[in-house]
Amino acid sequence: MDDQQWLERQFGCRLHQESLLAQALSHRSVGSRNNERLEFLGDSVLGYIVSEELYRRFPDADEGQLSRLRVSLVKGSALAEVARELSLGEQLRLGSGERHGGGRRRDSILADSFEAVLGAITLDSGIEACRQAIFKVFRSRLDGLRLEQARKDPKTRLQELLQGSGRPLPDYVLRNAAGEDHARIFTVACELADGKVIAEGVGDSRRAAEQAAAAAVLDQLGES
């Protein structure tokens, strides 16, 4: 499937400037004409459009709740998941090192390239065309959002719980990091200062593993 056919099928639009789409799908490993600048633009456009839509959909939400809902949609791992659903990795132009090193599956490359495509749509056809493309891709995720999902993340909740009772903050200790570079799995332990509560969490990044460990501690404390 060529680039324009793929774009029309997945985003519901075509670009007048085919070279712009080719650039959006070109990782920096292929040379100087790559998608980094388009990714910068697409990141900003996506953040604005999602923020505006959340503001409209959740009139009773406060700033913190809106921010957490937005993060749940546009964080790197979420965008990589969207990119996989769109088969974006199959369209990417990668240097030989990235091709052989699993670049088509790497979260950071997929997320950045997705944003670059949005940047290309904006430059070529305007922000309203990009808005429609985003809604086509994100509609089911937007429709599935509920305000109760905007709870603070486990690390923040655990920190606030401990501070509220005058207790020291927990320690997060990396126990293990296994797997190839593009598919690392981290194991982190969260330990309270008194040593009585210790739990481990696993994730595809150290931060994700820390969040999982904090959630497990909250569960032990009856605060899940």
Does the annotation flag 3 for ligand binding? no
53, 98, 115, 210: the catalytic one is 115
Distance of alpha carbon 147 from alpha carbon 25, whole angstroms = 34
Q: Is 115 a catalytic residue?
A: yes
Strand partners, 185: 178
**CB–CB of 141/73 below 8 Å?**
yes
For residue 66, CA distances in Å to 47, 57, 63, 88, 220 come to: 12, 10, 5, 28, 29
Does the annotation flag 223 for ligand binding? no
Does the annotation flag 112 for ligand binding? yes
Strand partners, 201: 188
Nearest CA among 61, 74, 220 for reference residue 151: 61
**CB–CB of 116/39 below 8 Å?**
yes
Torsion of CA 146, 152, 155, 158, to 10 degrees: -120
Amino acid at 178: A
43, 98, 107, 124: the catalytic one is 43
Torsion of CA 117, 22, 16, 116, to 10 degrees: 20
Which parts are annotated binding residues for Mg(2+)?
Answer: 39, 112, 115
Which parts are annotated binding residues?
Answer: 39, 112, 115
Indicate which residues carry an active-site annotation.
43, 115
